[in-house]
Structure 1
Amino acid sequence: MKKFLILAVVVGFIASCGVPKTVIQSKKVIKGTWTLSNISYSDSGSFNTVLLNDVSKECFENSAWRFVPNNNSGIYSINDVACATGDRNFIFTIQELDADTGYYDFLLKPTDAKGKSETNAGFRLRLTQLSDSNMQWEQTVNAGESPVTISMNFDKTIE
């Protein structure tokens, strides 16, 4: 009986540490290719932003993103010829934020082609919408004395 109780406690502990079912489902939905179709701000005005320490909002719009959830990696491609074009590698993690709202923390870290990061710095975004055809990330940043929310809207590419 004592062995059974210990086994039950161990199994319960392992199950409680597992990846939430909603995160697993989100990884299935995010898999594939997406287009970053639109970037908007919560406030009106002119903002000179560099997203993900890479390029401007204008360069990111219409960029192609590929997510490979089985190894939490991906590539995004900047296609605008007026920008520094090319592929950028990243790793990502989806972490459950609030089961009541369904929002998640989306962690993205730029890397090289081998998955190594030069600075080990990443970005925390909120995954506020995810369906089979649309995804939205939000990031709140300070613009002067007031916070501004940047919304990044993605459309799934039919393959």
Structure 2
Amino acid sequence: MKKLIVAVLLIASVISCGTSKTVRTSKKVIKGEWVLNSVTHNKVGTYNISLLNDATKECFEGSSWKFIPNNNTGTYIINGANCNEGERNFIFTIQEIDPATGLYDFLLKPTNEKNKSEDNKGFRLELAQLSDTNMTWVQTLNVNGNPFIITMNFTKTIE
């Protein structure tokens, strides 16, 4: 009887720690290819914005992204004049932070082609909006003690 109780408790704890239905649905929606159409910010003025410690916002605008949720990997391709062009790899995780509001955190970690991080640094973004055709990421930074909000708007191109 003790073994049965222990087994039931173990199964219950595994089930309770599993991925939520909302996150599973989000992974199905994010699967495919996207284009990063625009990068905007909430402050008036000209700012030198570098995303993912990689390139300027101008280089990221128009970049192509591919998400493969069954192994939480993906790639993005930067093209453009005055940009370090080429394909980059990343791993990602979607975490539901508040089931009541439907807010998510999107964790993205740049990697090499073997999906290994060279510096173990990642980026936490808010997955503010996700539909079958559009996705929005929001990153809030602290600049001189004030919030600086960067918004990245994507459009899905291929499922």
Q: Same-fold call, TM > 0.5?
A: yes
The residue that corresponds to 2:48 in the other structure is 48
Q: Does 1:151 align with 2:151?
A: yes
Equivalent position SS for 1:157: strand
1:23 corresponds in structure 2 to 23
Q: CA RMSD in A?
A: 1.3
Q: TM-score, normalised by structure 1?
A: 0.94
Please identify, of 3-12 and 28-37, the stretch whose mean Cα deviation from structure 2 is larger. Answer: 3-12
1:68 matched to which residue of 2? 68
1:118 aligns with 2:118: yes
Aligned equivalents of 1:157, 1:18: Cα separation in 2: 30
Q: SS in structure 2 opposite 1:12? A: helix
Shift of 1:4: 4.0
Query: How much does 1:51 deviate?
Result: 0.6
Aligned length: 159
Matched with 2:78 is: 78
Between 1:106-115 and 1:43-52, the stretch displaced more is 43-52
Q: Are residues 1:14 and 2:9 paired?
A: no
* Cα deviation 1:78-102 (Å, max 9, x = unaligned): 0113211110111111111111111
Q: How far apart are the structure 2 equivalents of 1:45 and 1:100?
A: 36
Q: CA deviation at 1:12?
A: 1.3
Deviations along 1:29-75, one digit per CA (max 9) or x if unpaired, are 00000000011112222111111000001110010000011111100
**Distance in 1 of aligned mates of 2:111 and 2:22:** 26
DSSP 3-state at the match of 1:70: coil
Cα distance in 2, alignment partners of residues 109 and 122 from structure 1:
4
TM-score by length of 2: 0.94
